Structure 1
């Protein structure tokens, strides 16, 4: 049986060493316990869409903003592009870091 490979982690986040709460994006303090002792970790970026906004058409391609609850326990904003069919709440997706380093927005792709 061939071994399955998993792409390297793509979503950086922080986890509090005291209460183990995960946080999206860089923080100075844990929002749960106030600790400054945060570890940098990486997530493969799998999660589910938990909130959607209206779709917009910029530059001819439809884009939809959404919030994704990542399996590790934090929520990030993302742009859903190129997903087949209707985008709906609960859809299993994978986050990808933006190709342009100046943008801080993740891109959502249909995932396992």
Structure 2
């Protein structure tokens, strides 16, 4: 028998893998896309645990609904999350994505 939590995690990871480089999504948008209306915290928890998951999950592309890098501590010391985003052409100022609304990728709209 399959573990339902593992199934949800894999669906979340698959959605995050679809976020294009140079774009970002939010914990809540991903939760809504998988049918978890109040699941933003669960998505955040899964992003914090995905470091060893294969294929890789670009968790750095998932931020809070205001564009804040609230999960940056999962990337270790320093500004690794910011560095990964900036390498994709995303500007981060004071731990917030500049032009968040313009760069926002909504899985409910993008995945058909």
- In the superposition, the TM-score normalised over structure 1's length comes to 0.23
Compare the two structures and name the one with the higher helix fraction: 2
Compare the two structures and name the one with the higher strand fraction.
1
Larger C-alpha radius of gyration, 1 or 2?
1
